Each structure stands twice: as structure tokens, then as C-alpha cells.
Amino acid sequence: MRIAIELILALALFAAMYFLWRFSGAVCFTPIRAPKDMRIDFVVSARSEADGLGETVRSLKWLSDTAAPGARVIIADAGLSSGARTAAELIERDSTKVDLYDIGELAKLSALI
């Protein structure tokens, strides 16, 4: 009987630890809010080989999902190599929250805002 109780307590502790780990982002981050006439976007200026671009975008998408609902991730091509540009295009295709612009296009868009 004692073993059954200890097993139930261990499972309950495991479930509580999993819940805290899984939802720590939503609990630890204060949501980022913008007034209705504004939008928040994360801009990543990427150059050369852009090592770690995928990881950076995944992190910002996670932040968007947990703390800044509706925010987009914008990859600004500031001189990506052809291979890195192809990788950035694949990242953009895989997500509706990611957009890829040349740095010049982004400057024009920001001037219109």
C-alpha cells in the first residue's frame, strides 16, 4: 500500500514538473501588447552565411506564440549568400508568421508605415 502511495505521489510530482516546464514561457513572460492601430514585428537583419538563422527565427516565433500574439518575424536580407538566401526562403515557406525581404524593400515598406 505504501509503495502505491509513493508511486502516485511521484507521478503527481512528475506531472507538476512537466506542467511547469511546458508552460513556463507563458507564465514567465508578460504579454507584449500593442494598441489596435499598431503591430509588433521582430526584424532579423541577416548577412553572409547567417549561421543560426533558423534557430533565431524559431525562438522569435516561440516568443510570438507565447508573449506577442500576432507578431511576425521578418528576415531582412542584408547580403545573404546564395545558400543562406535559399535557407531563408525555406524558412519563410514553412511558416505563415515569417516574411523575407531584401533590406532595400524593407526600408521602402517602413517609409510607407
If asked whether residues 45 and 1 sit together in one domain, one would say no
If asked whether residues 40 and 81 sit together in one domain, one would say yes
Go through 28-48 and write b for each residue having 16 or more CB atoms within 10 A of its CB, e for each that does not: eeeeeeeeeeeeeebebebee
If asked whether residues 65 and 17 sit together in one domain, one would say no
Q: Residue 88 corresponds to which amino acid?
A: A
Alpha-carbon gap, residue 89 to 83, rounded angstroms: 10
CA-wise closest residue to 88 among 102, 79, 75, 78: 75
**Count: domains in the chain:** 2
Is the pTM higher than 0.85? The answer reads no
Which range marks the domain in which residue 103 is found?
A: 33-112
Which pLDDT value is given to residue 24?
Answer: 64
Q: What is the pLDDT of residues 7-27, one digit of tens each?
A: 888 888 988 888 777 666 555
If asked whether residues 13 and 26 sit together in one domain, one would say yes
If asked whether residues 41 and 94 sit together in one domain, one would say yes
Q: What is the pLDDT of residues 25-83, one digit of tens each?
A: 555 556 677 777 777 889 999 999 988 999 999 999 988 887 777 788 999 999 999 99
Three-state DSSP class for residue 81: coil
